Copies of this chain bind each other. A is one copy, B any other.
Amino acid sequence: MNDAPSKPLVLFMPSGKRGRFPVGTPVLEAARQLGVYVESVCGGRATCGRCQVSVQEGRFAKHGIKSANDHLSPVGPKEERYDRVRGLPEGRRLSCSAQILGDLVIDVPQDTVINAQVVRKAADERVFDRNSAIRMCYVEVEEPDMEKPLGDLDRLKAALVADWHLENLDVDFHLIPKVQSILRKGEWKVTAAVHKDHDDAHPRIVALYPGLKNEAYGIACDIGSTTIAMHLSSLLSGRTVASAGTSNPQIRFGEDLMSRVSYVMMNPDGREAMTLAVREAVNGLIDKVCAEGGVSREDILDSVFVGNPIMHHLFLGIDPTELGGAPFALAVSGAVHVKSSEIGLPMNPGTRTYLLPCIAGHVGADAAAATLSEGPHRQDEMMLLVDIGTNAEIVLGNAARTVAASSPTGPAFEGAEISSGQRAAPGAIERVRIDPITLEPRFRVIGVEQWSDEPGFAEAAAATGVNGICGSGIIEVIAEMYLAGIISEDGVVDGSLGERSPRILENGRTFSYLLHDGEPRITVTQNDVRAIQLAKAALYAGVKLLMDKLGIDHVNRIGLAGAFGTFIDPKFAMVLGLIPDCDLTRVKAVGNAAGTGARMCLLNRSYRREIEETVRKIEKIETALEPKFQEHFVYAMALPNKIDPFPNLSAAVTLPERKVLADAAGEGGARRRRRSRE
């Protein structure tokens, strides 16, 4: 007997999930059965107001549904009371109370404070399903009864089993002395914050509030060696209510990662001092996002952190010395679960902290988070994900297979080891163009609107100065020098051009290019070019090694993560041969993908399982152990390099650029490619 046709068809938007349900089924119940996330704290009592939905009216030919408001039960007394007391927007219904009477298309609102979904700030506006590790559960607890001498806590647990199916509940000890007063203050109506992460069988009460508690927050934080960035999000609506960043105060112990490891090795209390420094900075950021979002620290119940392995270890109080030399052994590679108070982050006594797994000794939880965010493992196309810092963390793969490695690029891309290099800050040159005929440059500095050859530049730049070149500026100036013929494909500054231009300066046996004749004088020296060549060769060799592993010679997509990736122009990155050939429209800055991955794990614990599983499967390649790495490295020293064709690049650069490239490819590149095959 098939009774399906007699049941109304319900379609939820925007997810498109649909199913048939008996007349009288509450909409919230239907959503749950279909796995459509609709918030609810009060357990269907029509008091929390979180489960609002609306009905799309009319005929939806595509879906074969004629939806109408009268296919929903009329507003009942509970819903009417909620509307009177707290107000329900026009057209909205409480899905816990509204029952299905006929076919329906239900809109789950994505755009309001109530029920706002998380939208990535990056280009593709993905919507996350939510399933946070913290669930707010309102219950009404039986009052004590001499005939049934269960304790207060035990009756609370019984209510959570009955209303929320939370069996085998554990409870944080700090709550035990408070249970009786909270229950009495709430007149036996309380909201329990229940933490359920990897241990499904034993959820845990981590906070308890008298009455209905309708909000809980979480933080997602990316601890970079230079910058720490944090987002504060509502765990219920998913909305990000505040964001803040700060520089990592560990910089005072060492600019780059290896100098921080050295500091630990040289100073008996170095590890402790750096742990304290980063935790203080994180605490400062928590205060900042709380102030900005108007949220109490006590209301933060969950937190997710990512960072590279050394940041990860120092944050947890682990000595990073082992990461400073082979075999680069992580103390812990799997995901870490800890009470926030145990790592010096006082919020609520029940607040939890989750750290994503590290992939390898040089490929950290940040790379794991970026992987989760960009999802090479979720797609059929071959994607390359690169995060450039002192080490480049490289992930390459698709749904079938994913490999990862790190490559010792050194700090040149960050402006270190460059004569006029500096960190990205006001006054740093970030964009450069060189006229291939006159060899005259024009540039932009951070903090100034105009290019250097535009009117008003001098006045505007007076405030910032023109102080040096930052990472993206270095890439552009060297790429432009190459395209203008100032440097050869082997990276040699052509001194003979000194005849054509006063910009070519002689320094003993080598030459340099005068980018800005101010105070300070900004030049690009032969050593600077070599430093960038070394760095880019290391990066490219790492990428190439992973491509070898997968047996591919082409990638479909490239994601450039982190600040460096955000500011460099993909074309110039390809001119220098930092990245392999790829359709330039498919090379994208993915911003703080690590931060996005952290936020995904904050808002949905399924993402935690996904990345843990993915990291277990990722094949880790240790570049230092691969004989081919050195060979790739040598060939990759040339610009763009001596082995691979860059058809997409040739199509993208304009004349006279194209001419130079063609020369390089024809006379140099092709010849050497032949040679390398012999």
Contacts and interface: CB of A to CB of B under 8 A. Distances in A.
A329 B180 CA distance: 9
A333 B202 CA distance: 19
A319 B180 contact: yes
A631 interface: no
A318 B174 CA distance: 10
Contact of A329 (B144, B328, B359): B144
A327 interface: yes
A319 B179 CA distance: 10
Interface string A137-158: 0000000111111111110010
Contact of A151 (B150, B173, B330, B625): B330
A358 B145 CA distance: 15
A283 B177 CA distance: 21
A352 to B, nearest CB: 11
A652 interface: no
A176 B332 contact: yes
A317 interface: yes
A437 interface: no
A232 to B, nearest CB: 24
B333 A173 contact: no
A602 to B, nearest CB: 19
Contacts of A144: 322, 327-329
Nearest to A169: B334
A338 B360 CA distance: 35
Given A146-B622, A176-B316, A338-B173, A151 B331 contact: yes
A199 interface: yes
Interface string A159-180: 0000000000010011011011
B328 A153 contact: no
A336 interface: yes
A145, A150, A177, A329 — most chain B CB neighbours (10 Å): A329
A150 B152 CA distance: 45
Contacts of A336: 173, 176
A176 B335 CA distance: 12
Contacts of A625: 146-147
Contact of A337 (B170, B329, B337, B358): B170
B622 A151 contact: no
Interface in A288-341: 316-319, 322, 326-334, 336-339
A622 B318 CA distance: 55
18 contacts: A144-B327, A146-B326, A146-B624, A146-B625, A147-B620, A147-B625, A148-B620, A149-B329, A149-B359, A149-B361, A151-B332, A153-B333, A176-B331, A177-B331, A179-B331, A179-B332, A180-B322, A201-B202
